[in-house]
Chains A and B, each alone.
Chain A
Amino acid sequence: METVVFLISAAVILSGALGVILSNNPVHSALFMVQTLFGVAVLFVLLEATFLAAIQVIVYAGAIVILFVFVITLLGVDRAEDLRVEPISGQRPLAVVLGVSIFGIILTVLIAAVGSPTVIQEANIPIGDAADNTKLLGETLFSKQVFSVELTALLLTVAVVGAVVLSTRPKGLLISTLEEQGDDVLDDDLEETGKE
C-alpha cells in the first residue's frame, strides 16, 4: 500500500518537475510546479505529517506559486518562448555540469547513509499519533528552535522593507527640481489636483 502511494506520488512529482523546465509557457511551468508541490504534500501525508502536508499546500501552492502566476500574467511575460535560444551563452553546458554534480552529491550521501539512523525504520517512528503532530511541531518551533523562527521572521521583514525601499522614488531629486521651478508652478498644480 505505502509503496504504491509512494510510486504514484513520485511519478507525479517527477513529471511535474520535468514539466516545469520543459514547458514553453511560463504559466504552464508554474502549474507543473503546483503539481510537484501536491505530490510532495501526498508524501507528507504518507509519512503521517498531516500538518506539514496542509501547510505545504496553503503556503507554497496557495501563496507563493499564485504570486508567481500573478506576476507572470501582470507583467505580460506569459507568451510561449523558444527554448532553443540561450539567453546567456554557455548556460546550458554549465547547467548540465551543475545538475550532474548535485545529483552526484545526493547519491553519495544516500549511499554513505545506508545503515545510519536515517535509514533505519525504527528510528523514524512518529512521536505520538497524527493529531499530536501539530502540537509537537509547535512546541519544538517555539521552544528549541525559537531563535531560528525569529531569525526567519526578521529575514522576511527585511525582504518586505527592501521591496518597499526599492519601489519608492528618490525624493531628493524631485525636491531639487521643484526648487528650480519656483512656487507658482506648485500652487497651480496643487489647485488642479484638488479639482480632480
Chain B
Amino acid sequence: MMIIASDPLLSSEIGLSVVAVMLLKVVLAFALLMVSVMLVIWFERKVVADMHNRVGPSLAGPWGILQTLADGIKLFFKEDLLPARADRVVFRLAPYLSLVPAFLSFAIVPIGGDFTNGGDGTVSIFGHRTLLQVADPPVGVLLFLALSSIAVYGVMLAGWSSGSKYPLLGSVRASAQMISYEAALGLAMATVFLSSGTLSTSGIVAGQATWNWNLVATGVIPFVIFVIAGTAELNRPPFDLVEAEQELVGGFHTEYSSIRFALFFLAEFMNMITMSAIAVTLFLGGPNGPILIKQISWVWPILWFFLKVLAFLFTFVWLRATLPRLRYDQLMDLGWKLLIPASLGWFLLIAALNIGEDRGWSTFLVVPIGLLVLSLAALLLNGAIKKARDSNINAADLSEISEGTE
C-alpha cells in the first residue's frame, strides 16, 4: 500500500523474503518493547528507592532485576474479578484500547540507522535495504497523535464501565486532562513540522543529521512544552491526578484485577517509553550521533538512541520522586492559560521566520517584531484572565450572599 511506501524495503516487488524481513522487524519491535517495559519498571523502582534512601527490589535475580517478571507471573495467576454492576463488554474491551495504541505508536520510531554523510538511515537485513522502524507512513507523527487520542478511550471507558464512582471520577479527570494537553502537545509538534518540512519520522531524523537538532532549530520552548504536555499525557507525576490514591482510591483502574490490571500497567510504561522515543526523534536527533569506530558503524546510532531515551526515562522517574501533585485547577490553568497560548505563539513566530526567509526579509527585523507582537498578545491574554478571575470572585461572593439570606 502507499502508506508505507517510503521504506526502500517495500518499493521493490513484495516477495516472500520481504514479508519475512517485515515480520522479523515486527517481532523484534514487540520483543524490544516488552523487555524494555520489564527493565523500566525495575529501573523506576530502583531509582525511586535510591532517591528515598531505600534498597528497593533486591531479591529476585541479581539486583532484583527479575522483580517485574515475578510480579507479572503473580498478576497472571490471580483471580480475575468482574464487578456486578460493570458493563461487561466495555469492561473487557477497555484494557486493550489502552494497550494496542501503546504498541502501535512505537512502530513509527526509527531506533537506528546511519543518517550522517548523506546516508538514508537504512540497514541491510538478508540483502534487503530497510529502515530500522516498523512503518514509515507519510503522515508519520500524526499517526502517533491519532493513536494517543484512541488511548484516551481506554482510560475513559475503563472508569465508566466499572460501575463505581471513584473510577468514574478518575476517568472523567483523565479524559479532560488528556484532551487538554493533547492540544499543546500537537502544537509543539507542529513547530517541528515547520522547521523540518516533513511529517515522516525518518525525514525528521534525516533533517537533524548534522548536529542541527530541532531542539535548537525550534528554539527550545517547543521542547519544554512537549515534555511538560507529554508528562501530563502519560498521567505521570506531577500530573497523576487520574489515579490520586488519597482522593480516588486507585483512579480509573480501581475495579480491575489480575491480568487486566497488568495490561493497563503495561500500557502505561509502554507509553512512557514511546513518549521518550518520540521526544528524542522530534527534538534530539533520534539515532544521530558520532560514529566512533567505523567497523561496527551500525551499533552507534542504536546506542545513541538508547542513551537519549534512557535520559528521558530517568527524568520521568526523577520528576516522580521530586514533585508534589498539582491541584486540579492548577493543572487546567497550566494547560489552557499557559501551555496552549505559549505553543501557539511560538508556532506563529517560527512560521513568520520561515516566511521571512522565503521572501528575503531581514531576520533582525522579523525576530524583534514577532517577539513584540507575541508579548503584546501575552499582555492582552493576561489582562483578560485577570479580569475574568476578578469578576468570577465577585459573582461567587454575590451569589453566596443572595443564597444565604433567602
Contacts and interface: CB of A to CB of B under 8 A. Distances in A.
A171 B399 CA distance: 10
B263 interface: no
Contacts, number: 116
B142 A58 contact: yes
Contacts of B156: 66, 69-70, 73
Given A131-B6, A181-B405, A189-B397, A57 B1 contact: no
A189 B400 contact: yes
B401 A130 contact: no
Contacts of A34: 153
Contacts of A193: 396-397, 400
B145 A54 contact: yes
Given A51-B142, A58-B145, 17 more contacts: A25-B87, A31-B157, A45-B1, A50-B2, A58-B142, A62-B149, A67-B179, A73-B160, A74-B172, A130-B138, A175-B398, A177-B401, A178-B402, A181-B405, A185-B401, A189-B397, A193-B400
Contact of A178 (B172, B176, B401): B401
A174 B172 contact: no
A190 interface: yes
A43 interface: no
Given A73-B172, A174-B398, A50 B90 contact: no
A131 B172 contact: no
Contacts of A181: 401, 405
A169 B403 CA distance: 14
A130 B199 CA distance: 12
Interface residues of B, number: 43
Given A62-B182, A130-B3, A174-B395, A54 B405 contact: no
22 contacts: A27-B160, A45-B1, A50-B2, A53-B139, A54-B142, A55-B142, A62-B146, A62-B150, A63-B179, A66-B153, A70-B156, A73-B160, A73-B171, A78-B160, A129-B2, A131-B138, A168-B395, A169-B395, A171-B395, A174-B399, A177-B402, A178-B398
A82 B152 CA distance: 29
Interface in A66-99: 66-67, 69-70, 73-74, 78
A133 B168 CA distance: 41
A130 B405 contact: no
A73 to B, nearest CB: 5
A189 B394 CA distance: 12
Nearest to B400: A189
Q: How large is the interface on A (under 10, 10 to 19, 20 to 34, 35 or more residues)?
A: 35 or more
B332 to A, nearest CB: 14
SS class of chain A's interface: helix, strand, loop or mixed? helix
Contacts of A186: 397, 401
B153 A50 contact: no
A190 B400 CA distance: 10
Interface of B: 1-3, 5-6, 87, 90, 137-139, 142-143, 145-146, 148-150, 152-153, 156-157, 160, 168, 171-172, 175-176, 179, 182, 186, 198-200, 395-402, 404-405
Interface string A1-43: 0000000000000000000000001011001001000000000
A58 B160 contact: no
A185 B404 CA distance: 9
Nearest to A53: B139
A171 B394 CA distance: 10
Given A58-B149, A131-B6, A178-B402, A190 B397 contact: yes
Given A34-B153, A62-B146, A62-B152, A50 B397 contact: no
A50 B146 contact: no
A134 interface: yes
B146 A134 contact: no
